[in-house]
Amino acid sequence: MKFGYFDDKALEYVITTPRTPLPWINYLGCNDFFSIVSNTCGGYSFYKDAKMLRITRYRYNSMPLDSNGKYYYIQDGDVTWNPGWQPTQTPLDFYECRHGIGYSRFTAKKNGLKADLLNFVPLHDTCELNRLTLTNESEAPKSFKVFSYVEFCLWNALDDMTNFQRNLSTGEVEIDGATIYHKTEYRERRNHYAFFSVNAKPDGFDTSRDAFIGIYSPASAPDAIRNGGCTGSVASGWYPVAAHELHVTLTPGESKTFLFVLGYAENPKDRKWEAPNVINKAPARRLLAKYQTTEGADAAFAELKAYWENLLEGYHVESRDEKVNRMVNIWNQYQCMVTFNMSRSASYYESGIGRGMGFRDSCQDLFGFVHLIPEKARQRIIDIASTQFEDGSAYHQYQPLTRRGNADIGSGFNDDPLWLIAGTAAYIRETGDFSILDESVPFDNDEATCVPLFEHLTRSFEYTVAHKGPHGLPQIGRADWNDCLNLNCFSDTPGESFQTTGPSEGPIAESVFIGGMFVRYGKDYAKLCAHRGLLDKAKAAMTEVQKMEQTVLSAGWDGEWFLRAYDAKGQKVGSHECEEGKIFIEPQGFCVLAGIGVKEGKAEKALSSVEKHLDTKYGIRILAPSYSHYYLNLGEISSYPPGYKENGGIFCHNNPWVSIAETVLGHGTRAFDIYKKTCPAYIEDISEIHCTEPYVYSQMVAGSDAKYFGQGKNSWLTGTAAWTFVNISQHILGICPDYDGLRIDPCVPKGFGSYTVSRRFRGAMYRIHISNPDHVEKGIRKLTVNGKEVSGNLIPITEGVTKYEVEAVM
Ligand code: GLC
Ligand code: GLC
CA gap 26, 568 in Å, rounded: 43
Closest atom of ligand 2 to CA, residue 714: 8
pLDDT band for position 503 (cuts 50, 70, 90) = confident
In tens, the pLDDT along 214-232 reads 999 999 999 999 999 999 9
Percent pLDDT > 90 in the chain is 97
Q: What is the crossing angle of helices 585-593 and 602-613, to 10°?
A: 150
Ligand 2 mean position to 303 CA, how many Å?
38
- Beta-carbon contacts of 411 under 8 Å, excluding residues fewer than 6 positions away, are 389, 393, 394, 395, 396
pLDDT for res 546: 98
The region that residue 537 occupies, defined by phi over 0 for left and psi between -120 and 50 for alpha, beta otherwise, is alpha
For residue 98, what pLDDT band results from cuts at 50, 70 and 90? very high
Task: Give residue-wise pLDDT tens across range 150-202.
Answer: 999 999 999 999 999 999 999 999 999 999 999 999 999 999 999 999 999 99
What is the distance in A from the centroid of ligand 2 to the CA of 482? Answer: 8
Q: Whose CA is nearest to atom 6 of ligand 1?
A: 482
* Tens of pLDDT, residues 35-59: 999 999 999 999 999 999 999 999 9
| 720 in contact with ligand 1, CB cutoff 6 A | no
What residue owns the CA closest to ligand 2's atom 11? 483
The predicted pLDDT at position 303 comes to: 98
Q: Please, are residues 573 and 478 in contact by the beta-carbon 8 Å criterion?
A: no
Q: Which of 500, 627, 636, 653 is the best mutation target for the ligand 2 pocket, counting ligand atoms within 8 Å of the beta carbon and taking the most?
A: 636
- Is pLDDT above 80 for 451? yes
Catalytic residues: 483
Q: What is the secondary structure of 615-630 as a DSSP string?
A: EETTEE-SEESPPSS-
Asked if pLDDT for residue 618 goes beyond 80, the answer is: yes
Closest ligand 1 atom to 651 CA:
6
Confidence label for 773 from pLDDT (cuts 50, 70 and 90): very high
The residue to mutate among 481, 639, 700, having the most atoms of ligand 1 within 8 angstroms of its beta carbon, is 481
Contact 797, 761 (CB under 8 A): no
pLDDT at 712: 98
367 contact partners, CB below 8 Å, separation of at least 6: 422, 423, 426, 722, 723, 725, 726
Q: Answer whether 743 contacts ligand 1 (Cβ < 6 A).
A: no
Mean residue pLDDT of the chain comes to: 97
Ligand 1 centroid distance, CA of 483 (Å) = 6
* pLDDT tens-digit map of 360-380: 999 999 999 999 999 999 999
* Pocket lining: 347 vs ligand 1, CB cutoff 6 Å: no
Ligand nearest to the CA of 719: 1
pLDDT at 526: 98
The yes-or-no verdict on residue 642 having pLDDT over 90 is: yes
Is ligand 1 within 6 A of the CB of residue 114?
no
For the Cβ of 361 lying below 6 angstroms from any atom of ligand 1, the answer is yes
Confidence of residue 402 (pLDDT cuts 50, 70, 90): confident
Q: Atom of ligand 1 at shortest distance to CA of 653? A: 7
Predicted confidence at residue 159, as pLDDT, reads: 97
Mutate to test the pocket of ligand 2, among 357, 362, 395, 646 (most ligand atoms within 8 A of CB): 646
Q: pLDDT-based confidence at 659, cuts 50/70/90?
A: very high
| Over residues 414-418, mean pLDDT | 98
**How do residues 15-33 score in pLDDT, each as one tens digit?**
999 999 999 999 999 999 9
pLDDT bin (cut points 50, 70, 90) of residue 504 is confident
Helix, strand, or coil (residue 700)? strand
Dist. CA 482 → ligand 1 center (Å): 6
365 backbone dihedrals φ, ψ, rounded to 5°: -55, -35
pLDDT digit string, tens, across residues 263-290: 999 999 999 999 999 999 999 999 999 9
Does the C-beta of 484 come closer than 6 Å to ligand 2? yes
Alpha helices, H only, 104-195? 157-160, 164-167
156 secondary structure, DSSP code = -
What's the pLDDT at 733? 98
What pLDDT score was predicted for residue 401?
80
Q: Is the pLDDT of residue 734 over 80?
A: yes
Ligand nearest 349 Cα, by number?
Answer: 2
> Does the beta carbon of 515 lie inside 6 Å of ligand 1?
no
- How much is the pLDDT for 661? 99
- The C-alpha atoms of residue 451 and residue 24 are separated, in whole angstroms, by 45
Residue nearest (by alpha carbon) to ligand 1 atom 8 = 361
Ligand approaching nearest to the C-alpha of 499: 2
- Ligand 2 centroid to Cα of residue 483, in Å, is 6
**pLDDT tens profile 590-613:** 999 999 999 999 999 999 999 999
- Ligand found nearest the CA of 485: 1
pLDDT at 483: 97
Q: Residue 356 pLDDT more than 80?
A: no
